[in-house]
Structure 1
Amino acid sequence: MEVVAQMKETEIQEILFPTMLAFVPLLESKREEITQARKTFKYGETDRHQLDVYYPPTSEGKPPILIYVYGGGFVSGGRTLPTPIDLAYGNLGLYFAKRGFVTIIPDYRLAPGTTFPGPAEDLRDALSWAVANLREDADIDSIFFLGHSAGGVHTLTLLLEPSILASAPSLRIKGVAISSAPFHFGPSGIEVIGREPVNMYYGSPEETQAKNPLALLNAASPELIKALPPLALIRCERDPAWFKVVGQDFNVALAEKGVTPVQILAEAHNHISVSLALSTGEGEKQAEGEQWAAETAAWMNRLTASSTGT
C-alpha cells in the first residue's frame, strides 16, 4: 500500500500498470493456494462463457455464494489476466472463499463483440448456472454480487434493466455490493477520459445517456425498486475525481427512490489496488488494505443470518 500512497495520479490510465506490478510479488507468494482453491466450468456456448469457482477450505453446512464481476472498461478484462498479473482476481476469490463464501468469477462478453445489455445477460446465465449446479455444495438462497468498475455497471444493469431478470423470475439475489462504478458518464464540469469504449458498448452517445445505471435507476418503476436486494456502495478514497462525483449523483438518486445503501470506504485505495490487496497477508493476519472486504463480508453475513433467524 506504500506504493499506492506515493502515487500522485488517480486517473486509471496513469496508475493501472504501476499498481498492478507493485502487487505481483505479494500475489506470487499465494500462487499454490490460489490455484488449489479454483475450479473452472463452462456456463454457456462461447469461450467467454466460462467461470472460476473458489471453494472454502472447510465449511459447516452450505455456505453462501458470492459472484464477483471484474471491470475492464467494457472492452477488456478476464477472470485470468496475462502474466505477470495472472493471479489478480484469483486473490479475491481466495480471500472470500477463506471467509466462507463459494466465490464465482465469471467471464462475460466484451464490446464490440456484444453491446448493452449483453454482459448483464451473461451474469444472469452465470447466476442460473450457480443455482443449477451448486445446490448440493452451497446455499443457493444466499447469493451475492460484488461488481467493480465496469463490472459494477453490468451488475446494476442486471438489476435495473427490467427485461433481464424478468426472463428468470425464480432467481433470487440476497445482496449486491458495487465498488467504484461509473454510474453515469456526464458529470457536470469534469472531463471523462475514455468515452469511446463506453459509447462502443452502449452503441452511441445517446444510448449511453439513456441506458447508464443512473438513467436506469431514474426510469425504474416502483415495483422494480421495491424488489431490489439490499445494496452496499464501496468507494475508493483515491478514485478519479469524476467517479466520486457520479457516485454522489447515484446516492442522491437512490435517496429519492427511498433506497438507503450501506456505505463502505476503501481507505487509501486507488481504483486498481482495491482488489489486488486481498490475500496478501501472512496466515490469518489481515493485510493492509483488506478492511473494506472485511466490512463487505460482515455485511453479507448479517444478511444471511437475518434470513435464517440466527
Structure 2
Amino acid sequence: MEVIAQLQETSIYNVLFPTIYAFTPLLEPMRTEITGARKTFKYGETECHQLDVYPPPPAYTGTTKHPLLVFIYGGNFTTGKRTRSAPADLVYGNVGCYFAFHGFITIIPDYRLAPETPYPGGAEDLRAVLEWTASAAGNALGPAADREKIFLLGHSAGGVHVMTMLFREPTILASGRVKGAFIASAPTYYDFDVIDEPTARGVEAYYGARTAAVEGSPLTLFRAASEGMIRALPPLALLTCERDPEYMRVNLAESRRMLEERGIKVPLIVAKGHNHVSITFALGTGQGEEWAEDAVRWMRALHQEKTPWLRSAL
C-alpha cells in the first residue's frame, strides 16, 4: 500500500496502470492457486457468456455448506474481462481465490459490454448468471454448494449492474436466494456536471444518451420501486474508497441517505488508503484487505442469519 499512498491522483484513469504495476508482482506467489483453482463454464449463448468458478480449498473447515458469491467487475461499461492479459493476468483471479479461501464458492462472470450491448444488458447477464447457479450441474458448483444463499459483490460499473438488476427484477427478489449485495465504489446516479469526460463517455455508450442514463440510473429505479419491492430487497452495503474521486464519494454518501429515507438502513464502509481500483488488486497480497475482511464478516453473519456488524462502517 506504500505505492498507493504515494499516488496523489484520484482520477481512475490516472491511477489505473500505476496500481496494476504496484500489485501484480505481489500476486505472483499466488499464481498456482489462482490458475489451478478456477473452472470455466458457459452460462449463455455468446462467447461473452462464460464464467469462472473458484471453490474453497479442500482443507477449508469453516462450514459444511458453502454460500455462493458472484463478483461483477467494473470497466466503465465498455471494458473488462474476468481473465486479463499480462501483466494483470492474475487480477480478478485473486478476488476469486481470496473469497474461496474464506469459504465462498466464488463465481466471476464475463458479461456483454457497451456499445455493442446497451442498457440493461449487463444487468440481464447478471440475472442469467443467477439462473445458471440454480440449474448448474453438481460438478460445476460441487455438492457442498448452498445454492439458496447467494451474495453479490459489484465493483464500479459491476455494482451498477447489481443494483439495476435488483431494482428492475422482482422475480429475482421473489426467489429469496440473494441474501445480500455489497456495492463497492459504484455510482447510483450520474451528475454530468461533475463526472469526468472519460466516465461520461462510458455512461453514454451504455445508456445511449445522458437523459436515458438519468432515467435508468439505480437511484431513479429505486425511487420508482413499489413498497413491496423495497421490502423484498436483500440487505445492502455500500463501500467507498478513501481515494475515490470526490464526486463518487459524495454520490455514495447521498445515496445512502436517500436509501434510508425509504427505510433501508445501509452501512457505508470506507476502504482506508485505497484508490478506486486498488481494492480488487490488493486481495491476496496481505496488504489493504481490511475492507474484504469486513465484507466476509458481513456475508457470514447473513449466511448464518445473524445481525451483521462492520467495523469500518459509518
Paired residues of 2:50 and 2:110 also in contact (CA < 8 A)? yes
Following superposition, the deviation at residue 253 of structure 1 comes to: 1.1
| Equivalent-residue separation in structure 2 for 1:48 and 1:212 (angstroms) | 24
Partner Cα distance (1:262, 1:100) in 2: 23
* 1:136 CA displacement: 2.8
Kept in 1, the 8 Å contact 2:94–2:283? The answer is yes
- For 1:289, the equivalent position in structure 2 comes to 288
The residue aligned with 1:157 is: 164
- Gaps of at least 5 residues in structure 2 are 307-314
Q: What percent identity do the matched residue pairs reach?
A: 50
- On the 8 A contact 2:74/2:157 being kept in 1, the answer is yes
> 1:199 maps to what in 2?
204
**TM-score, normalization: structure 1?**
0.92
Q: Helix, strand or coil: the match of 2:175?
A: coil
Match of 2:143 among 129, 132, 136: 136
Whether contact under 8 Å (2:70, 2:108) holds in the other structure is: yes
Displacement after TM superposition at 1:170 (Å): 3.2
Q: Distance in 2 between matches of 1:84 and 1:186?
A: 34
Count of aligned pairs: 298
Show the counterpart of 1:190.
194
CA distance in 2, matches of 1:84, 1:191: 29
Instruction: Return the offset for 1:183.
Output: 1.4
1:283 maps to which residue? Answer: none
Partners in 2 of 1:116 and 1:93 — Cα distance?
A: 26
Alignment-derived partner of residue 30 in structure 2: 30
Task: Give the deviation of 1:191 after TM superposition.
Answer: 4.0
Q: Any stretches of 5+ residues in structure 1 without a counterpart?
A: 281-286
Counterpart check, 1:235 vs 2:246: no
Q: 2:20 maps to which residue?
A: 20
Q: What secondary structure, in the 3-state scheme, does the structure 1 residue paired with 2:145 have?
A: coil
Q: Please say if residues 110 and 119 of structure 1, whose CA atoms lie closer than 8 Å, have aligned partners that are also in contact.
A: yes
- Picking from 214, 222, 225, the partner of 1:220 is 225
- 1:36 CA displacement: 1.4
CA contact (8 A) 2:71 2:109 kept: yes
Q: 1:149 to 1:191 in 2, by over 3 A?
A: closer
Query: Once the 2 structures are TM-superposed, how far is the Cα of residue 166 of structure 1 from its aligned partner?
Result: 2.7
Q: Where do residues 42-61 of structure 1 align in structure 2 (5 Å cutoff)?
A: 42-58=42-58, 59=60, 60-61=63-64
4+ runs deviating over 4 angstroms? none
Q: Deviations over 1:251-271 (max 9, x none)?
A: 121011110112222110000
Question: Which residue of the partner structure matches residue 309 of structure 2?
Answer: none
SS in 1 for 2:178: coil
Distance 1:270 1:11 in 2: 9
- What is residue 312 of structure 2 aligned with on the other side? none
TM-score of the pair, normalised by structure 2: 0.91
